[in-house]
Amino acid sequence: MIVEAEYRERREFFSRKLKRNSVAVLFSSEPKTRSNDTEYPYRQDSNFYYMCGFTEDRATLLFVKGEEKTACYLFVYKKDKDEELWNGKRLGVEQAKERFDVDDVFQQSELASKLKELLVEKKRLYYDFNLDYSKVKLLKRYAKNVESFHNAATVIEKMRLIKSPAEIALIKKALKITKKAHHRALKKVVKCRYEYELQAEIEYLFRKFGAQSDAYTSIVAAGNNANTLHYIQNSAKIEKNELILIDAGCEYDYYASDITRTISSSGCFTEPQKELYSLVLAVEKEIITMLKPGVLRSDLQKRAEFLLCSGLVRLGILQGSVKKLLKKQKHKKYYPHGIGHWMGIDVHDQAPYKTSKGKEIPLKEGMVLTIEPGIYIDKNDRDVPQKYRGIGIRIEDDILVTSDGYENLSKGIKKELKEIDSFNS
């Protein structure tokens, strides 16, 4: 759990980053219609959540900075008996005043007049440049005297790069549940006839152990389906002796986990499957050991590509000198994606990879990223020995960068061949 004192610290840090004579506005996300009068489950805007932890819609955070001091106001939707009958209790102004350590709390209906009053005298306006057009229009209507516009999201997303101990604890909690789910998949796989049955086994455990949802749509891809990188239909029949790529992680209290394991439908790997799997696993393990402060993600990418390409040559999938193959990007056909991404409130955490000057940001203590090499060989790829066709493998873990190295937060989710091969026999 993240306590109010930590949210307050974040708001104070954000305030210090604001230029003098400015207003910053952060909106809650809009409910999204699924059809007619039915909505998708509501999820708070990630940056808004990061700044206050408030999960209601129709809320706004407003920062007003003068020459030095900054005031922070929260706007919340009013308590309304009729609305609460349908959609549940709201906090309302009075309780929000008790819960949030802000300078004042108002009703959301007062926002427009407050903005109008404040923006007459302030020169700078911060808001999320990805904001819905309707809200941008509202802001611009009152911003006639504003001289410059700044992206509030850029400031917050930079803060989100480094995770606090409380955030890491939540990611660990999410991973604890995700671990159980992947182990259940391993146990149930031979009994599942369709990909969705396996998906159900995994997601059953997400909910059973209190995760609010998945952190992204689960990928359960049997056989050649694993070669479609974002395969989410999960509708195909599972055949005997196929590998099944499972990319699934739960979200717990707004924090993601992101784990991929590749297991066998029959519980036993064939020789060619073992060869490819061992290669991907060896690469994944070596890249993880490289993690420490100062390292660049592009170095990890290069090393992973070198190792995978060398392995593909060794197995006779690529021919020629590794150096030349890499130069001509021949390996990209079998490993077309990145080595990993930031993770946190979002599974692909909205945090920068480069500085404002375009320089790559090196790893620092407190960052959390995934490491996820893979090999994908299409069933119709005639350039590859028959025995390897139709196999897609990815192995992914979630890693915390520590002061002198790394901590594998998803350690213990089985991935060694001896742990997952013949698991059922």
Strand residue runs (E) in 360-423: 368-371, 374-377, 391-394, 397-401, 406-408
Give the DSSP letter string of 83-151.
Answer: HHHHH----HHHHHHHH--SSEEEEGGGHHHHHHHHHTT-SEEEE-TT--HHHHHHHHHH-TT--EEEE
Minimum CB distance to Mn ion smaller for 74 or for 369: 369
Minimum CB distance to Mn ion smaller for 311 or for 373: 373
Shortest CB 398 distance to Mn ion, Å? 9
Spell out a b/e string for 365-396, using b for 16 or more CB atoms within 10 Å of the CB, else e.
ebbbbbbbbbbbbbeebeebeeebbbbbbbbb
Minimum CB distance to Mn ion smaller for 224 or for 370: 370
Minimum CB distance to Mn ion smaller for 48 or for 342: 342
| From 157, 394, 398, 406, active-site residue | 394
Query: Is 381 in the active site?
Result: no
Query: Is 183 in the active site?
Result: no
Please report whether residue 258 would count as binding Mn ion according to CB under 5 A: yes
Please report whether residue 284 would count as binding Mn ion according to CB under 5 A: no
| From 43, 207, 303, 348, active-site residue | 348
Query: Is 37 in the active site?
Result: yes
Please report whether residue 201 would count as binding Mn ion according to CB under 5 A: no
Cα separations in angstroms, 285 against 74, 162, 405: 46, 23, 14
Please report whether residue 257 would count as binding Mn ion according to CB under 5 A: no
Query: Is 258 in the active site?
Result: yes
The tokens describing 95, both together, are: 């309780």
| From 251, 341, 346, 349, active-site residue | 341
| From 45, 372, 397, 398, active-site residue | 372
Query: Is 337 in the active site?
Result: yes
Neighbouring CB atoms inside 10 A of 85's CB total 8
Angle between helices 133-142 and 111-119 (to 10 degrees): 50
SS3 283: helix
Query: Is 346 in the active site?
Result: no
Please report whether residue 218 would count as binding Mn ion according to CB under 5 A: no
Stretch that binds Mn ion, among 133-141, 237-245, 286-294, 366-374 (CB under 5 A): 366-374
Please report whether residue 370 would count as binding Mn ion according to CB under 5 A: yes
Stretch that binds Mn ion, among 112-120, 176-184, 272-280, 364-372 (CB under 5 A): 364-372
Query: Is 230 in the active site?
Result: yes
| From 396, 397, 398, 406, active-site residue | 396
Stretch that binds Mn ion, among 179-187, 194-202, 233-241, 362-370 (CB under 5 A): 362-370
Q: How many residues bind Mn ion (CB under 5 A)?
A: 2
Shortest CB 340 distance to Mn ion, Å? 7
Shortest CB 202 distance to Mn ion, Å? 16
* Antiparallel, parallel or unpaired: β 104-107 and 70-76: parallel
Minimum CB distance to Mn ion smaller for 258 or for 284: 258
Q: Is the dihedral of CA 96, 98, 102, 107 positive or negative?
A: positive
Shortest CB 246 distance to Mn ion, Å? 12
Query: Is 378 in the active site?
Result: no
Stretch that binds Mn ion, among 3-11, 42-50, 210-218, 257-265 (CB under 5 A): 257-265
Closest alpha carbon to 350 in 11, 46, 52, 42: 46
Closest alpha carbon to 11 in 46, 47, 56: 47
Give the DSSP letter string of 150-199.
Answer: EEHHHHHHHHTTSPPHHHHHHHHHHHHHHHHHHHHHHHHGGG--BHHHHH
| Residues labelled catalytic | 37, 230, 247, 258, 337, 341, 348, 372, 376, 394, 396
Binding site for Mn ion (CB under 5 A): 258, 370
